[in-house]
Each structure stands twice: as structure tokens, then as C-alpha cells.
Amino acid sequence: MSRIKIAPSILAADFSRLGQVVKETEEAGADYIHIDVMDGHFVPNFTIGPPVVAAIKPHTSIPLDVHLMISEPLRLISEFAAAGADIITVHAEAVQDLKSAIKEIKKNGVRSGVALHPETPVAVLEGTMEELDLALCMTVNPGYGGQTFIPSSMDKVRELRELINRSGFNVELEVDGGINDSNVSELLLNGADVIVAGSAVYGAKKSLSECIERLRNPE
């Protein structure tokens, strides 16, 4: 099995010093920088857009994992790609045709991801595995950092792992929302490959490297 990846979500970081934050996060051993984009429409909250992604880009060399929680995401793919996104994830609930959305992302030279809201069945991803690079299983309702993990998402992660394995394609399984030292072990057992964590990395009292290491190798 390949090494577990940790993707700290900068939503929980100090926005006034994002350049420094992503640099420190890379130095602390993170694998991706997870960037939560919210438009005040697909979700009530409003966060950051392409200019901020472009501002962060020169401060780190690890991949920028851009999670688009926005309506009609296809209209902005090229802008996020040009800003420096390395992975672009759209929500299955926000696009009409998943296969063409994935194609559109890849056409822009970035890795493609699809996210599933907690209520969206994993079956919607059937038939997309060949082109897909990353499947994101939301473990809270998208919209805010610092929420409580939804316990039923454990089963869903397992189901998604089975779907990926059955397909035989190399799709990363990312989990996002309410993840911390107490639930990460079970997520890893259920087959998660990429762990997103906001509060458990930037909101903890420990150093960034300790937080990242604990998520990668929980006790």
C-alpha cells in the first residue's frame, strides 16, 4: 500500500499569513495543501477564489488540492488551473454530467477529483473510475470547518474503497471533515488514502509536524 497522504485544510489557518502557513505546512511534512473554495451559493459560506490560490502558489512546491464547493464549477476550472491548482475537485451534486466534468478538468492539465456530499450514494461514481484521479468522501456536510464527523460515513468510505478496488483503477480516496486523532485510525482501516484535516492541524496546541505525524501514524 502506498503511504498515507495528509492534506491540511487552510480553512482553519490564519488567513492573514497564508504564504508563510503553506511554507510551514510543507516543511512540517504535509503531502497536499487542501484549499476549500465556497461560493455562498452551493454552500452558505464564502471563502477564497483564484487570486488567493495564485498568491499561495509560489510559497510551496507540494500539490494544491482545490476543493470546489461551488455551483456550476465548470465555468471556473480554467481559472483555478491557471492560478496553480494541481488537483481540482468538483461536487457530484453540482454538475450535470460527471464524465464530461472530469474530462473538462483534465483538459486543463490538472488531476481530477469528484466529491460526494454525505447523502450522495457512492454509486454515482460508477463508470467514472477510468478517468478519475481522486474521489472525495465528505464526512461532514460541506460548508464549514470544525464540524463533528458523521459516524455513518465510515461505512461509506468502506463502500467507496470497494468500488475503487473493483474498478482496478488507481483512484485516491480522500476523506474530509471532522477528522482527528480519534477517528483517523478507523478511516485508514476502511481504506482512506488522503486525510484532510483543518482544525486538527491548525487549531491544535501541538506543532504542525506533530499534528501531521499523529494523523499519519495514529496510536
Nearest to 132 by CA among 162, 159, 96, 168: 168
Nearest to 36 by CA among 58, 20, 53: 53
Taking alpha carbons only, the member of 9, 6, 95, 75 closest to residue 48 is 9
Query: Which one is catalytic: 31, 39, 176, 193?
Result: 176
Residue (76 or 196) nearer to ligand DX5, CB: 196
The entry of Zn ion, ligand DX5, none that residue 12 binds, CB within 5 to 8 Å by partner kind: ligand DX5
One-letter amino acid at 214 equals R
Choice from 176, 188, 201, 208 touching Zn ion (CB under 5 A): 176
Give the nearest distance from C-beta 115 to ligand DX5 in angstroms. Answer: 8
Sign of CA dihedral 27, 30, 33, 38: negative
Tell me whether residue 11 or residue 208 sits nearer to Zn ion (CB atom): 11
State the Cα–Cα distance between residues 118 and 141, nearest whole angstrom: 6
**Which one of 31, 36, 65, 193 is the catalytic residue?**
36
Residues that bind ligand DX5 (CB under 6 A): 9, 11-12, 34, 36, 67, 140, 142-147, 176-179, 196-200
Active-site residue flag, 36: yes
Pick 118 or 167: Cβ nearer ligand DX5: 118
Largest CA distance in the chain: 44
In whole angstroms, what is the distance from residue 155 CA to residue 120 CA? 13
Q: Which of Zn ion, ligand DX5, none interacts with 11 (beta carbon under 5 to 8 A by kind)?
A: ligand DX5
**Residue 8 interacts with which of ligand DX5, Zn ion, none, CB < 5 to 8 Å by class:** none
Residue nearest to ligand DX5 (CB): 198
The Cα 219–Cα 215 span in angstroms is 9
Contact status, residue 106 vs residue 112, Cβ threshold 8 Å: yes
Q: Which is nearer to ligand DX5, 45 or 167 (CB)?
A: 45
Enumerate residues 28-67 that contact Zn ion by CB under 5 A.
Answer: 36, 67
Distance CA 40, CA 29 (A): 32
**Partner interacting with residue 127 (select from ligand DX5, Zn ion, none; CB below 5-8 Å by kind):** none
Question: How far apart are the C-alpha atoms of 108 and 85, rounded to whole Å?
Answer: 10
Residue nearest to Zn ion (CB): 67
The binding site for Zn ion (CB under 5 A) comprises 36, 67, 176
Please identify every residue annotated as catalytic: 36, 176
